[in-house]
Structure 1
Amino acid sequence: MNGAQALLHTLVNADVQVCFSNPGTSEMHLVAALDTVPRMRGVLCLFEGVATGAADGYGRMASAPAAVLLHLGPGLANGLANLHNARRAGTPILNIVGDHATYHQRYDAPLESDIHALAGSVSGWIRRSARSRDVPADAAEAVAAALTPPGQVATLILPADVCWSEGAQPATPVRSRPASPVHDSVVESAAAVLKSGEPCALLLGGGATRRHGLEAAGRIAAATGAKLLCETFPARLERGAGLPAVERLAYLGEMAAAQMTGLRHLILAGAKRPVSFFAYPNQPSDLVPEGCQVHVLAGDGDDAAGALAHLADLVAGGVAPPVQQPSRPEPPSGPLTAEKAAAVIGALLPEDAIVSDESNTSGLWLAGATAGAPPHDWLTLTGGAIGQGMPLATGAAIACPSRPVVCLEADGSAMYTLSALWTQAREGLDVTTVIFNNGSYAVLNMELARVGADPNSAGEAARSMFDLSRPDLDFVSLAQGMGVPAGRARTAEELAAQFGKALSEPGPHLIEAVVPSVF
């Protein structure tokens, strides 16, 4: 068989069964091979950033890689933003990039570029297959590399003639390395800190924000009085009634610093040392309080949840973790605001939902409104590159077809990857998208002042850069044009009626929630 066919057989044997694709000429043999490997599900995306973001959502929920098929360097470049987010999330992804035939590359054709350099900015593993018979073994190693804890982007570059040439055979899957157990001495050192009587906090990230890690951390906090925090943008946070509640570190540096005021010890479990997202005049970049000592319980590649469980056994024997009690907001009424929208979502969020949250400034009230909702998963914008929300929801819905997916999306961010709706309609995915339409890049109104510029003296040219009117965006028409039923809500009652209806019906839906800007 040819290299492309052997590649797909190798992938499905390694449990890679979905390929999000935006292919071109150099990948035609890979596309043709889909008909010979029915276990591989090909999912067409109209933009590479949707394909890479969907692979991120799939990987976060399946804890296994999806493949992404991209066309040469420019196709990879179009997908880089969401690969950046995936890298920050520690998501396993197999990134397959087609290249010109090996003998064609020396002619410097118009699409020739340095694919390796582009891939290097987001990939933890890169290889270019030189011969058809090398492709299957390279693919097997790529899958294992993607699954290297905590997960990473593995990029396999495939010249066209390597794919179409005969002489390849499927390879045996390569066993991936498991997460490393944390040494007893490290756990014992953290236990001594927690028993010191000095103010401590646990900062959770990675796998520690799943049930097993949260329950262990909740036991530790209950027994020792340590504060329980998690990263601002966790890749996947399990939350809701019956789970230990964890406070997310604030986005604004000064608010995050206030959360950690008075700490003498900060214990990192799968999280990185907290820093400000941007530099601001006369503000610190490092958010750790002065006089606070940082202790790494578990870093990248370590079994953070296992380390927390061991630590809990040392300091919290017999202590049960406190859990969030069931609660729902009262359904609001009247003209819609972001706060009322959060209450509607909290009142109606279904059990076992997956929430892809890119609501940005309109989402300030969501955490409180949904804290006591039935258990659910919350996926966030890990790398800060906007345009993640709808692709992430798309991939999550394919990974978990029996679970309802809710995408909470800001209007400006939505326009980056709106074509994800078309893929949702084509695949019949159970995704309910709520677009918070406030007609602006609202966060930039706040950032204008925070970086030292005077918003009061900003002229028309500056203000127009944050304004999404002239013309107004019509998300209802845009969604309907891609085959997704849609409606517009201007009151809390309208949002509740449309949200409830969308959740009760199969397939994708979109609701344009018209809200005033928070800033």
Structure 2
Amino acid sequence: MNGADMLCDVLLVNGIDVCFANPGTSEMHFVAALDRKPAMRCVLGLSEGVVTGAADGYARMADKPAATLLHLGPGLANGLANLHNARRARTPILNVVGDHASYHLQYDAPLTSDIESLARPMSHWVGRAGGAHDIRRCTEEGFAASITRRGVSTMILPADAAWGEVSPETLSPVAIPEPPAIEPEALKASVTALRSGKRAVIILSGRALREKPVETAGRIAAATGAALFSTTSARSARGAGRVLVRPAPYNIELAIEALKEFEVAICIGGPRPVTFFAYPGKPSTTLPPDCRVIQLAEHEHDLADALEQLADGLGIRPNADFARNAFRQNEIQVPNGALTPDAVSLAIARHLPENAIVIDEALTSIGQHTALAPGLHPHDHLPITGGSIGIGIPLAAGAAIGAPDRKVVAMQADGSGMYTVQGLWTQAREQLDIVTIVFANNAYRILQGEMINVGVNSYGVNARKMLDLDQPKLDWCSLAKGLGVEADRATTVEEFVKLYTAALGRRGPFLIEAAII
């Protein structure tokens, strides 16, 4: 066997059985090894942004890493934007990045680059196999780091390490250490703060937003009067029967207003909420300046256990009551006529199937979705986490592979969708059960809003050319069909509901171009 065979075997024994790939010459020995491993599912992406975004979506739903296969430094560079989102989501991924044979690097061939320097900003761990003999160690270290550090690992695979011969070994899964314990002083301070009578908020992030931890947080809130807020996280359990956790608003004025009353904030899974950008004359953090912040747990901790310890410290029983979201989906009234963002969001919500996975890169066109979500059928919400647009289509593909028995409903802005439109081809090739709804407003509407936020209330031809997408207009139905996905356009609410409900009733990918006004 060769080093590439060893790499595949180490991946498989550790439960990594999906590889999202866009390979090149230096990776051909790994491709050949994958061909000898029928237990490995190989998924081709036509751009590296699709590969890395899909690996993110897969791990968010499967709760285990996927591997990626990327071609040298430029291939990794093409995938960095969605690796940034994965890093912010704290998604475990094991990137395998090919490199020239070690003895070839001295000749500075055209594709030679400093892969380590490219990888480090978006990776929690970076390693290079020193040869075929080193592949097992390197792969195991990268896998373990992706789990323990909750993030992206990047392993560099020189071509001669992949083709070099190795002796077969008896492999076993890597022993993953228990998560670190939370600090007793932070726990004590949190209990004291929640008993103090001060206006308190618990801010949840990461895996604290899964169903069971949120229930524990709901019991704490019911017993203490604390409010529950969240920052942008990889996956949130939402819907009826679950606990209402209010997302901290994106808009800076709305965020400051929502959090202005709190005297103490307990953060679980992430730091205090901050603004996405700096704005002239406005703060960078959205909690009040005199609000005390207690960091109870970080992403690397067992967040469910941290919340249980907090509840236990407060004397709250595991079966204590908490406020559950009421089911309101059947009460939603969908208007007729004009296809506005609000109308589309109402229609999506009214017909959302139970246990759906909602992908959210609708950005400014999300309408009333966030407000409606607590009353809908229970579902998981997967948003853009790092603000790097172009994740929606590949995120949906990965989520559908990670949870193949669940319907994926992807809300997609038109401008950001064009970054990784190639992901529709992967959806078609793998016959993934995804309904993609493109909010076609023919503009970078979010940037038009940001112009106002930074104080520019009017602008001319040059600025408009950089913010509008209407000359020429994008034809999403033609784009989707050219990539193998059936599609149709809706210009009224009635047309949209007909297309949406039909797409929900069938399997396989379907795209709706919602021509919103």
TM over 0.5: yes
Secondary structure of the residue aligned to 1:193 is helix
- Which residue of structure 2 lines up, in the alignment, with residue 515 of structure 1? 516
Secondary structure of the residue aligned to 2:375 is coil
1:130 Cα offset (Å) = 1.1
Q: Which amino acid aligns with 1:485?
A: E
Is the contact between residue 183 and residue 296 of structure 2 (CA under 8 Å) also seen in structure 1?
Answer: no
Aligned mate of 1:447, from 450, 473, 487: 450
- Which stretches in structure 2 are left out of the alignment for 5+ residues? none
- Which residue of structure 2 lines up, in the alignment, with residue 369 of structure 1? 372
Is the contact between residue 205 and residue 270 of structure 1 (CA under 8 Å) also seen in structure 2?
Answer: yes
Alignment pair present for 1:433 and 2:432? no
Is the contact between residue 268 and residue 298 of structure 2 (CA under 8 Å) also seen in structure 1?
Answer: yes
**Identity percentage over the alignment?**
49
Deviations 1:493-518 (A, max 9, x none): 111111111111111000001112xx
1:299 Cα offset (Å) = 1.6
Is the contact between residue 50 and residue 79 of structure 1 (CA under 8 Å) also seen in structure 2?
Answer: yes
Deviates more, 1:300-309 or 1:485-494: 300-309
Is the contact between residue 240 and residue 374 of structure 1 (CA under 8 Å) also seen in structure 2?
Answer: yes
Alignment pair present for 1:12 and 2:12? yes
Alignment pair present for 1:351 and 2:354? yes
1:362 Cα offset (Å) = 0.2
- Which residue of structure 2 lines up, in the alignment, with residue 166 of structure 1? 165
Alignment pair present for 1:501 and 2:511? no
TM (norm. structure 1) is 0.97
1:344 Cα offset (Å) = 0.5
Alignment pair present for 1:397 and 2:415? no
1:189 Cα offset (Å) = 2.0
Secondary structure of the residue aligned to 1:121 is helix
1:316 Cα offset (Å) = 5.8
1:368 Cα offset (Å) = 1.7
Secondary structure of the residue aligned to 1:479 is helix
How many pairs were matched up?
Answer: 512
Deviations 1:387-437 (A, max 9, x none): 011111100000111011111100000000001000010001001100000
TM (norm. structure 2) is 0.97
Secondary structure of the residue aligned to 1:192 is helix
Secondary structure of the residue aligned to 1:96 is strand
Is the contact between residue 186 and residue 294 of structure 2 (CA under 8 Å) also seen in structure 1?
Answer: no
- Runs of at least 4 residues off by over 6 Å: none
Q: Which amino acid aligns with 1:398?
A: I
Alignment pair present for 1:155 and 2:151? no
Alignment pair present for 1:333 and 2:336? yes
Alignment pair present for 1:417 and 2:390? no
Is the contact between residue 34 and residue 40 of structure 2 (CA under 8 Å) also seen in structure 1?
Answer: yes
Alignment pair present for 1:45 and 2:25? no
Deviations 1:329-368 (A, max 9, x none): 1232111110010000111111111111000000141112
Deviates more, 1:305-314 or 1:213-222: 305-314
Alignment pair present for 1:407 and 2:406? no
Secondary structure of the residue aligned to 2:300 is coil
Secondary structure of the residue aligned to 1:465 is helix
CA separation of 1:370 and 1:288: change in aligned 2, threshold 3 A:
closer
1:137 Cα offset (Å) = 2.3
C-alpha distance in structure 1 between counterparts of 2:167 and 2:253, whole Å: 57
Is the contact between residue 361 and residue 443 of structure 1 (CA under 8 Å) also seen in structure 2?
Answer: yes
- Which residue of structure 2 lines up, in the alignment, with residue 75 of structure 1? 75
Alignment pair present for 1:307 and 2:306? yes
Is the contact between residue 216 and residue 309 of structure 1 (CA under 8 Å) also seen in structure 2?
Answer: yes
C-alpha distance in structure 1 between counterparts of 2:382 and 2:368, whole Å: 16
Q: Which amino acid aligns with 1:213?
A: P
Q: Which amino acid aligns with 1:399?
A: G
- Which residue of structure 2 lines up, in the alignment, with residue 255 of structure 1? 254
C-alpha distance in structure 2 between counterparts of 1:509 and 1:208, whole Å: 32
Matches within 5 A, 1:139-218: 139-149=139-149, 151-169=150-168, 171-218=171-218
Q: Which amino acid aligns with 1:161?
A: D
Is the contact between residue 132 and residue 168 of structure 1 (CA under 8 Å) also seen in structure 2?
Answer: no
Compute the RMSD of aligned alpha carbons: 1.2
C-alpha distance in structure 2 between counterparts of 1:303 and 1:167, whole Å: 38
- Which stretches in structure 1 are left out of the alignment for 5+ residues? none
Is the contact between residue 264 and residue 292 of structure 2 (CA under 8 Å) also seen in structure 1?
Answer: yes
Q: Which amino acid aligns with 2:102?
A: T
1:313 Cα offset (Å) = 2.8
Deviates more, 1:22-31 or 1:297-306: 297-306
- Which residue of structure 2 lines up, in the alignment, with residue 100 of structure 1? 100
- Which residue of structure 1 lines up, in the alignment, with residue 391 of structure 2? 388
1:279 Cα offset (Å) = 0.6
Q: Which amino acid aligns with 1:276?
A: T
- Which residue of structure 2 lines up, in the alignment, with residue 475 of structure 1? 476
